[in-house]
Amino acid sequence: MKESRKKDITLDSPLTDVRKIDTKHKEALKRLGLKTVRDLLFYFPVKYEDFSTITPINKMVIGKKNTIQGVIKEIKNSTTRRKNMVITNAMLEDDTGALPIVWFRQPYLESFLKTGTYVTLTGTIEHGYNGLQMTSPAYEKYKEESIHSGRIVPVYSETANITSKWLRFFLKPLLKHAKECPEFIPKSIIDSYALIPLDLALNEIHFPSSKKELGKARKRLAFQEMFLLQIAHLFKRARFQKERATAIPFDEELIRDFVTTLPFTLTDDQKKTAWQIFKDIEKDEPMNRLLEGDVGSGKTVVAALALFLTSKRSLQSLVLAPTEILAMQHFNSLKKLFRKSPIELALYTRTQHHTKDGETTEEELIEKLAGGHIDVAVGTHTLLKQEVSGKNIGLVIVDEQHRFGVKQRAELKKSSTSKTKPHFLSMTATPIPRTLALALYGDLDISIIKEMPKNRKTVQTQLVSPYDREKMYDFIKEKIDQGEQAFVVCPLIEESDTLGVKSVTEEYKKLNTHVFPDVSIDLLHGKLKKDEKESVMQRFMAKKTSILVSTSVIEVGIDVPNATIMMIEGAERFGLSQLHQFRGRVGRGDKQSYCFLFSESPSNTSFERLKTLESVHSGFELSEKDLEMRGPGEVYGVRQSGLPDLKMASLSDATLIAETREAASTIIKESASLKKFPALKRELNSFEKTVHFE
């Protein structure tokens, strides 16, 4: 009966079929998302304890940690008279000698490590009352098959009420099923990157035979993960490239004439990235490009160049922004940039309907768009709704969104009547280092604006000591009296207060009643309705208010040139990149601007971290530092950025990313549909389901 049950176990068997599991462990497994044998095989240790170097008793080093292994010769509890504390004295013997062992306050050891038990002990050797002894060592019994000790021992995350010991026992006999995992990495890739087989890697990752083998297992498993990610990117890209777009041929003279109408000369990076875009859209396959550039680096004009050319080819464009305010800002900037060009511009959001000539109705805009009478429609995602459709949309630009999702793409399909697909350009001010960008957005081409326009003043940044708070307030008051404006950003203090109403409201009250009683102050937080937010922003832009107290909702893209002060409370709660984004809200006009960082009780590390903002003004440099210090998950937030949830591969491992990228493109070149590699195709499908990227 037992035998026949065992035979039926496969990779897909539920763990509850493997053996009887008590309720506590059942629940723990469920919480960890471990349902099948396969799940468990891919539940990797978080670290290892290295018991692999067992020291013979006669070779121990005094004052250092040693791991010894042998048999318990005697063990006995006693109680000290003075403190009434239980002491366990034992004697451990190996082939080379014997050593006294002492534990305190662990009376159960007397019966747990009975005379005759084989144990591995790790601890420090020191001088005791009776000569050398090992005091309070970590202990583990070992049996015939030493799966816990005497080697490199896996330690699993113990957050879910499940011990590593329990997992080891459960997992060890299941490892034989590892060979049922199909090898899906093509042979040529296995060979050229010297990867070990998956089966072996799984065995070694759980029960390493040596550090060297563990290294190989890690490499194999990290490789396969990043390889799948890159294959997924390239696969998607290949699929995308099969679609047809309308080619938008470049015309040097047209562009040159337009550029002379601009109020400034383009930076080299603006020219370079615009050129990359022109090269893309002159093909009849859709562009899929990400334009990265620090706040204020001038992405809008690059977008305008592409919009301009597109309109000259009688194609329409959409510009999508995440909020109504940003849409309105884009509309106004584009209106300025296009003031000498006969381009029909529209603003279409839930509440606003404008053409270049002024306010209009929703019906009229819908009609004009459908008739092809609007060249460039700026708006929020309302532009993608069913009733709105263009006549012939050639270009879609999305601001502050890294990736245009499959869903939005589908929505867009409905909103254009033309047969070809539009070209896509996403823009973001979140500076992502190139290697990470390849891991995250490997399906996109990437253009980066690094250089800032020359007239830009750097924002003076200072980490302010709590003692100087009053002085700072005086300084701010002085600036406000001169007609300048200030932002005050507050973090979310309580987890439950996800919209940040509490902290920001308190700060607002404090500033309004005590600190700046005769200054007009306004409040912005996530709980306000869209329209309320809009009017708060409008008042600030119209200089009706001098101080805007806000949660991080002001992070993206707001342009108020008259604001010169950015004051950030609880700065240690924000990442460097995010702080840099806040800082980018000021320094947009020609006046000197300031960023003041307040920190409640900075630890040494956060102090150091915040200090870097004083000297580093490049968003890219800051994001690299941020990545180094906090890792990609913390920096970009797994959810928000669609950061894939990888188990083994590191998103900051540049070599791995480069290697897997190369391997993936070799494979895609050989078989774009992956028809030649069915096992890989199957694995890719399940990978895309589990990793949740996009």
Give me the least distance between CB of 291 and Mg ion, in Å please: 10
Partner interacting with residue 295 (select from ligand ADP, Mg ion, none; CB below 5-8 Å by kind): ligand ADP
Give me the least distance between CB of 300 and Mg ion, in Å please: 5
Give me the least distance between CB of 423 and ligand ADP, in Å please: 19
Query: Which is closer to ligand ADP, CB of 300 or CB of 352?
Result: 300
Give me the least distance between CB of 488 and ligand ADP, in Å please: 22
Partner interacting with residue 632 (select from Mg ion, ligand ADP, none; CB below 5-8 Å by kind): none
Partner interacting with residue 266 (select from ligand ADP, Mg ion, none; CB below 5-8 Å by kind): ligand ADP
Helix (H) or strand (E) holding 426: strand 423-428
Provide the H-helix boundaries in 344-496: 362-370, 406-414, 434-441, 469-481
Query: Which is closer to Mg ion, CB of 422 or CB of 557?
Result: 557
Say if residues 551 and 524 touch (Cβ distance below 8 Å). Answer: yes
Query: Which is closer to ligand ADP, CB of 108 or CB of 264?
Result: 264
- Residue 120, helix vs strand vs coil: strand
Question: Dihedral, CA atoms, 137, 139, 144, 149, nearest 10 degrees?
Answer: -80
The gap from C-alpha 339 to its chain's centroid, in whole angstroms, comes to 40
Q: Which residue is nearest to ligand ADP (CB)?
A: 298
Give me the 537-576 binding string for Mg ion, x by CB under 5 A, dash otherwise: --------------------x-------------------
- Interface ranges with ligand ADP (CB under 6 A): 264, 266-267, 270, 293, 295-301, 429, 453, 455
Query: Which is closer to Mg ion, CB of 314 or CB of 618?
Result: 618
Partner interacting with residue 301 (select from Mg ion, ligand ADP, none; CB below 5-8 Å by kind): ligand ADP
Give me the least distance between CB of 399 and Mg ion, in Å please: 6
Partner interacting with residue 288 (select from ligand ADP, Mg ion, none; CB below 5-8 Å by kind): none
Query: Which is closer to ligand ADP, CB of 265 or CB of 513?
Result: 265
Q: Which of 546, 566, 243 is nearest to 424 (CA)?
A: 243
Q: State both tokens at 673.
A: 């549909």
Partner interacting with residue 267 (select from Mg ion, ligand ADP, none; CB below 5-8 Å by kind): ligand ADP
Query: Which is closer to ligand ADP, CB of 468 or CB of 590?
Result: 590
Give me the least distance between CB of 557 and Mg ion, in Å please: 5
Give me the least distance between CB of 448 and ligand ADP, in Å please: 12
Say if residues 684 and 235 touch (Cβ distance below 8 Å). Answer: yes
Query: Which is closer to Mg ion, CB of 148 or CB of 289?
Result: 289
Give me the least distance between CB of 326 and Mg ion, in Å please: 8
- For 189-225, letters b (16+ CB in 10 Å) and e give bbeebebbebbbbbbbbbbbeeeebbebbbbbbbbbb
Give me the 494-513 binding string for Mg ion, x by CB under 5 A, dash otherwise: --------------------
Instruction: Print the SS3 string covering 234-277.
Output: HHHHHHHHHCCECCCCCCHHHHHHHHHCCCCCCCHHHHHHHHHH
C-alpha–C-alpha distance, residues 483 and 472, integer Å: 17
C-alpha–C-alpha distance, residues 121 and 508, integer Å: 59
Say if residues 322 and 556 touch (Cβ distance below 8 Å). Answer: yes
- Residue 428, helix vs strand vs coil: strand
Which residues lie near Mg ion (CB under 5 A)? 557
